[in-house]
Amino acid sequence: MTQTLLLLPGDGIGPEVASAAARIAEVVAPDLAIESDLVGGAAYDAHGTPLTDDTLARAHASDAVLMGAVGGPKWTDAPRDKRPEMGLLRLRKELDVFANLRPAFCFPALAAASSLKPHLVEGLDIMIVRELTGGVYFGEPRGIDTGPDGVRRGYETSIYTAPEIARVTRVAFEIARGRSGKMTSVEKSNVMESGLFWRQEVTAVHAAEGEGVALSHMLADACAMELVRDPTQFDVILAGNLFGDILSDAAAMLTGSIGMLPSASIGAPGRPGLFEPVHGSAPDIAGQGIANPCAAILSLEMALRWSLGRTEAANRVRDGVARALEGGARTRDLGGTLTTDGMCEAVLAAL
């Protein structure tokens, strides 16, 4: 049966990098049916909502979803529940892709492009497992209103249930076992009840099912510090939605450029995963054709590996990007001069 990849290019540089990834897909997986639809601000402009029910149904029916990016200044004044980001959050929630895998991998050719000294990032290979469909991102109640004391306030709820923590912890265990076995769970158990509960639950799941995994715990602020002090001490980092969001941006920069980093969001086996570059829509460079397509191309690599069961094609993409970099291919964010198309051509040549 033909496998379907649903492309949701989105906004800003999203369409530029997504089309580069589609060109690579046509080469490494020529039998893959690639479909395309709108999400984010592009969908809001066309349909008045950042994610239509029809697009959501197509996502459910596909084998994998590859996103570009969403958002931009154009939609700052859109109604809050119709903002581009809401399309992405709804997609994550509805597809129930609760485990977000964010590798921070330093290609040897890029050690000098890191903001840290090369010897600190040489051999860097971290996998951040971020819980993606719970926590403070979705907790209720939330709002901006006037409290009973007549004082205006803004608030949300940081809440995790035991099953939510257990399922993402199991994914992290499985990934850790396929690597060094080392795993660091991150929270703020010193100040947050939900953080203390997170630590307790991860510890309990580890005691019952953590065979082969060396688990340690770290407070999120300390983890941020350690990530820039001595990043290669980490292998798998498990975090909730908000801390995972923040730490993955920091880890991304260690690798030379956020333009290099892909992500995979996966749920139950057999359900379509959602794959997206970690970088945003980068409105400042959108439309210029200079965005680094590597994060999108490597997100395709993760789709091939995690949702489509095409390990060989995935390895080919990964090696292709590595060889293009070794050959000196660099976009502007990496200190080079190549355009998006130029970088894509370099990867195609390396394939």
Residues that bind ligand IPM (CB under 6 A): 71, 85, 88-89, 245
* For ligand IPM, the closer CB: 137 or 173: 137
Q: Confirm whether 44 is a catalytic residue.
A: no
Closest approach of Cβ 294 to Mg ion, in Å?
18
Contacted by 88, from Mg ion, ligand IPM, none: CB < 5 to 8 Å by type: ligand IPM
Distance CA 324, CA 202 (A): 40
Hey, what's the torsion of the CAs at 308, 309, 311, 314, to 10 degrees? Answer: 10
Q: Give the 3-state secondary structure of residue 293.
A: coil
Q: Which amino acid is at 332?
A: R
Q: Give the 3-state secondary structure of residue 314.
A: helix
* For Mg ion, the closer CB: 127 or 325: 127
Distance CA 83, CA 70 (A): 9
List, in sequence order, every residue forming a beta bridge with 55; answer none if it has no partner.
none
Closest approach of Cβ 215 to ligand IPM, in Å?
25
Closest approach of Cβ 88 to ligand IPM, in Å?
5
The total number of residues written for the chain in this structure: 351
Please select the residue that binds Mg ion; options are 164, 201, 245, 333, rule is CB under 5 A.
245
Q: Confirm whether 137 is a catalytic residue.
A: yes
Q: Give the 3-state secondary structure of residue 265.
A: strand
Report whether 201 contacts 94 (CB < 8 A): no
Q: Give the 3-state secondary structure of residue 275.
A: strand
Q: Confirm whether 117 is a catalytic residue.
A: no
Q: Confirm whether 188 is a catalytic residue.
A: yes
Active-site annotation holder among 45, 96, 235, 249: 249
Distance CA 119, CA 343 (A): 26
Contacted by 85, from ligand IPM, Mg ion, none: CB < 5 to 8 Å by type: ligand IPM
* Selected range binding Mg ion among 184-192, 241-249, 256-264, 301-309, rule: CB under 5 A: 241-249
Distance CA 250, CA 227 (A): 8
Q: DSSP string of 181-225?
A: SEEEEEE-TTT-HHHHHHHHHHHHHHHHH-TT-EEEEEEHHHHHH
Q: Give the 3-state secondary structure of residue 103.
A: strand
* Selected range binding Mg ion among 5-13, 29-37, 215-223, 240-248, rule: CB under 5 A: 240-248
Cβ-closest position to ligand IPM: 85
Active-site annotation holder among 11, 37, 44, 188: 188
* For ligand IPM, the closer CB: 85 or 345: 85
Q: Confirm whether 74 is a catalytic residue.
A: no
* For ligand IPM, the closer CB: 20 or 88: 88
Closest approach of Cβ 73 to Mg ion, in Å?
17
* For Mg ion, the closer CB: 201 or 245: 245
Active-site annotation holder among 221, 230, 284, 319: 221
Active-site residue set: 137, 188, 221, 245, 249
Interaction site with Mg ion (CB under 5 A):
245
